[in-house]
Every structure is written in structure tokens, then in C-alpha cells.
Structure 1
Amino acid sequence: MLMSFLQSQPLMRPQVAEGGATNSGTSLSRDSAAEPSVTNWSSFTSAFSVFAQKILPTNLPGSAPDSGPAESHTFVNSLQRQAAENIKRFQRQGLRDFASAPVRAEESPEVEVEPNDYNNCTNQPNTVCGAQWLLLWTTAAYAPEQPTDEERKALRTFFTEFQDQCRDRSYAKTLETFGAPECSSRRQLMMWLCVGQNKFRNFTVPCRYQSLLDRWRHRDGYL
């Protein structure tokens, strides 16, 4: 459900240079940004499919240990529905805000700041950007503590190909500045997200692994 919704949206993708770094482009005016190019979703969709089938925990509350795929991935489906609903709910308001924003000169280095959705202390976002980061955080929190080579590759592709929907380009800037995450461990991935979010969303969340894990993995009751 999430994939079909996202694939229907024309989104902007960060330009990844050789070696994992990304090339930061010139700031776009409102008119030029209104028509972003449609990107190739094949690798992103494939990575999410692998992630959903092989990486998220299968023995979830309410499911027997030997339950079939449909039951074992109830949480994955719930995540997709929640993310899609959040994005749909905020998209119209976001587009209205975007349409009314003042036009910036293309050569201007300034970038419009995404409204802070108070996601410093809550897991309930109220903007498209917050819904996007909620999905990123939950994905990282439920990644294996020590991924196998196959899982690491799937996670790295997922986070590298993820389409940034934030007007402030906070996730794209994280990739551009810090490069793609190594995904060598759950801890490394969550620290990478925390540092990037604090820097480019002006958050002040302490980057303490156990605190982040308690917030994004344990607060919802799934262990």
C-alpha cells in the first residue's frame, strides 16, 4: 500500500556520487521545484520487499512462532498503512503551504525550513516530513542488531534510495553530508539518523543508543 502510494508521487532524489557521497545541487526556486523528476523505484521497491520479508522480526505479539507469512508480517503491513495515512493526511496541506511560499532566486543558497513537528519528543508526526522520519526511524529500530551481508546490503539500498519528501531536504542533506550509512549494525544506523536529524532538522535529541532504542522499538510494545 505504501509503495503504490509513494510510486504515484513525483519526488526528488539526492544525486549520489561515486564512492557513496552525494552531490548537493543549487537551491531551486518554487517554480522549478514544483516539477521534480520521477525517479526509478525498482531498486528501492526491491530493497523494501527484502527488508519486509527477511529483516523485520517474524515472531510478533499475537502471532504463533510458526505462523505463516501473512500473520508474521502484520506489523510490517501496519507500518505501511500508518506511513501512507500520515503522508496522505499531510500532503494536501503541504502542497498548499508550498504553493503560497515566496519564490526564491535559483542562485540563493537559502532553503526553506520545514516546520518543526515537535517530533523531538513524540512518535506522532503532524507533517509529511515527520511521517517520513517516523518510517526511517522505525525501519532502523527493527533492523537486526548485527545484519548479515544480505541484510546489510538490503538496508543500505533502502536508506540510500529512500525518496526525501521534506521541503528542507533534511534526509537528502544527511546523505550528502555524511554519505550512505554503513548499516554494519543497528547501533550505527540509529546514530547516523540521529546525527543527521539533529543537524538538518534543528533537533536536540541526545544521540544515546539505548534511549533511541527504547523510544523507537520498545515504546510500541514490540520487543
Structure 2
Amino acid sequence: MSSDSSSSSSKPLPPGMVIGPDGKPCKICTAFRNWKPRVDKSKQPPNAPAGQQKTAAMMAAFASGTGFTASQSQAQSQSTIGVEPTRPANCPPDVEQLGNATWTFLHTTAAYYPEKPTMQHRVNMLSLLRALPVLYPCSTCAQHLGENMKAHPPDVSSRTALSKWLCEEHNEVNERLGKEKFECTIEKLDERWKDGPSDGSCD
């Protein structure tokens, strides 16, 4: 191993940075906010565009959990501490965007899966799910999913069974990430992924 690689590997990693199977920082496994360094507003030139300053203050309020209702003084004080960078729309996906898109696709596919699937439906769905631990770009996510699928194999016997299985898998990930769990009843799942709320707000 060269001294170059050993010195780079001995450097402490930024918080939230994930190492890939090649031993290097994994961009697709890491959230954008952990990949890009925080911006210290106190070190920015005073002639920074007003729009940029306002956006930074808003992002600081949002990142601190105070949301968009934070007072201007709160937002300004947070902006001097340092704010997470705003991810440009034309960037490749990070782990969060990829995860959200994947879960949306899988839950929606399950919502429209037949209640009485044919053998071909079952084979195709199992092929899709079994391909994820092999092909998913985030290697750590793929490994976790593969281990979970071995412990709790996919249930493709019906639309209801598949929807609930996916919900439980998603909740396992949410729990690991410290996120709120979703209620895995078919009524709640259909409301979220197929029919929308009964108040018609999504119609």
C-alpha cells in the first residue's frame, strides 16, 4: 500500500460519510449534506448576494428543526454557525434521494400488484426484489436489504401480503435511521400509495 493511500485512510472521515466496499468514500451511500462541507456564513464575503444569504438563513432554520416559522434573528444566528449546502437539482442522486425514489417505486408497484397473482406475477416480483441486493447502487443499503430478505423472505402471495411485507421492511430501515415508523395496515398503505386520503386533497 502506498504512503499516499495510507495517509488518506488515516484521516478522520466527516460525520455521516460512508465507506464503500473499495475502501473509499461512497458518494451514492452518503447523504449530500454529509458529502459537502457545511458553509460557514461568518466566513463568506459581506457582498454575497442577498438571495444567497436569505436562502442560507432559511436552510439553517430548516436544518435546526425550527422550520420556515423561525424568526429572522433565529435564522441569522443559525446561518453564522454554518448551514448545510443546498443540493442542486442537476446533481446525481444521493443516498436519501435514491432511497426515497426506490421506496416510492416499490410501494406503488405493490399497491397495484394483483390480489390473486398468477405464477408469472409472483416469479417476476420475486426476481425484481431479489435483484435489489445485487444491483442496488448503495452497497451498504444493498447488504442490509439482502440480510433482511434472508431473515424475512418476500411474501408475494397477494397484493395485501406484499404491501405489508414492504412496509415492514421499510420500517426496519426507518428504525435503524431513527425515523418514524409507518402503520402497516392495508387501509393506511392504500391511502398513502394508491387511493389518497379520503378528504380528496390528492384528487
TM range (shorter): 0.3 to 0.5
TM-score w.r.t. length of structure 2: 0.46
TM-score w.r.t. length of structure 1: 0.42
Higher relative CO (Cα under 8 Å, sequence separation at least 6) belongs to 1
Greater C-alpha radius of gyration: 2
